[in-house]
Amino acid sequence: MLAAMTQTTPNTLAGQVALVTGANTGIGRVTARELARRGAHVFIACRSAQRAQPVVDEIRAATGSDKIELLSLDLGNLASVRACAQAFLARELPLHLLINNAGIAGAKGSSTSGFELAFGVNHVGHFLLTQLLLDCLKHSAPARIVTVSSQAHYRAPGIDWDAVRQPTRSATGLPEYGVSKLANALFSAELGRRLAGSGVSTYALHPGVVASDVWRSVPWPFRSLMKLAMISTEEGAATTLHCATSGDVAQETGLYYDKCRVKQPSRLAQDPALAAELWKRSEAWVR
Ligand SMILES: NC(=O)c1ccc[n+]([C@@H]2O[C@H](COP(=O)([O-])OP(=O)(O)OC[C@H]3O[C@@H](n4cnc5c(N)ncnc54)[C@H](OP(=O)(O)O)[C@@H]3O)[C@@H](O)[C@H]2O)c1
């Protein structure tokens, strides 16, 4: 599907500006490259310049575009999120596509800003980044905000407001990952409601089960075996690119996608009261 999209949509994003978080590897790296291939000016926001600069060079070489730039961003550190947004806004460019892609799974501990690690990076960091860039996105409308959630959100039993302020409790970190991905889906839906009529649309998605670095915490022999059954990062970027670029979804907002199609997220992910509560608490946390 990705190959077909690449061949049929050359330079459709000329003049558009995109920011992709966590684009130094995995799904984000393919997303950034494909947006650049279609003519977008792409900012890749990553926590390690050492890991990201070779990807900037690779995308420049693959696309022939010099409009690929690096921003420093550690989503677990809200001061870093603010600095990243400031650095982008200082350029006085429009922003048409914000891709909230970065994520961690199976890691344990607390984020620098004191949240459960997965929740702090996957939800709170992206919540603040999006807030800080929202006026720019509105002024650049039509614009889209794509948030990479996961089917892991279906297993989340809800959000324990105390637990998300504590270090990871489970042995695997995976229950907490599911909660963070429920938060991604709720955030995208609530943002869609709040942005109605603004020309900025929101999309949440499951990318598929993808053989990326996200499985780095799984011990080696299991990791290699698991990856055999997974789709490639090229295929894993297809739904993100669909949500970010397809004319078919231009009039949709606040929905959840899987395999480039709308899908019902979990009952909890569709709960407007839970989404409003998460929004209210997230605003207070990042104040
Ligand atoms: N792979 C799957 O099967 C799968 C399934 C469902 C959903 N997803 C979601 O897809 C998205 C992309 O994941 P992926 O599979 O491409 O994983 P990946 O290869 O591990 O890439 C994750 C990216 O997030 C970045 N990141 C992690 N912590 C960060 C932080 N504190 N600040 C800034 N960036 C940070 C990583 O940077 P470093 O290289 O510096 O660590 C990396 O660039 C994630 O949101 C993930 O939850 C993946």
The closest alpha carbon to 149, from 189, 125, 182, belongs to 182
24 C-beta closer than 6 A to ligand 1: yes
Which residue puts its alpha carbon closest to atom 1 of ligand 1?
Answer: 210
Clarify whether 177 is annotated catalytic: yes
Is there a contact between 64 and 39 (Cβ–Cβ < 8 Å)? no
Q: Rounded to the nearest whole angstrom, what is the distance from the C-alpha of residue 23 to the centroid of ligand 1?
A: 8
Instruction: Work out the percent of the chain whose per-residue pLDDT is above 70.
Output: 97
Is there a cis peptide before residue 142, judged by omega within 30 degrees of 0? Answer: yes
Cα distance between residue 26 and residue 77, in whole Å: 22
Check pocket membership of 249 for ligand 1, CB cut-off 6 A.
no
CB atoms under 10 Å from CB of 283, counted, come to: 12
Q: What average pLDDT does the segment 237-249 reach?
A: 97
Burial 222-234 (b: 16+ CB within 10 A, else e): eeeeeeeeeeebb
Mean pLDDT of all residues in 139-160: 98
pLDDT on residue 10: 62
The atom of ligand 1 lying closest to the CA of 105 is 47
Report the mean per-residue pLDDT for the chain.
95
- Which residues, listed in sequence order, are joined to residue 44 by a DSSP beta bridge? 20, 70
Tell the residue number behind the tokens 């684009």, with chain if given: 23
Ligand 1: which residue has its CA nearest to atom 21?
26
Cα separation of 271 and 28, whole Å?
28
Per-residue pLDDT of 39-83, as tens digits, reads 999 999 999 999 999 999 999 999 999 999 999 999 999 999 999
Integer Cα distance of 201 and 19 in angstroms = 15
**Predicted TM-score of the model (pTM):** 0.96
Cα-to-centroid distance, 215 and ligand 1 (Å): 9
- Which residue from 214, 226, 233, 241 has its CB within 8 A of the most atoms of ligand 1, so it is best to mutate? 214
Q: How far is the CA of 198 from the centre of ligand 1 (A)?
A: 29
Name 116's Cβ contacts closer than 8 Å, sequence gap at least 6: 110, 163, 164, 165, 166, 167, 168, 176, 179, 180
- How far does residue 163's CA lie from ligand 1's centre (Å)? 22
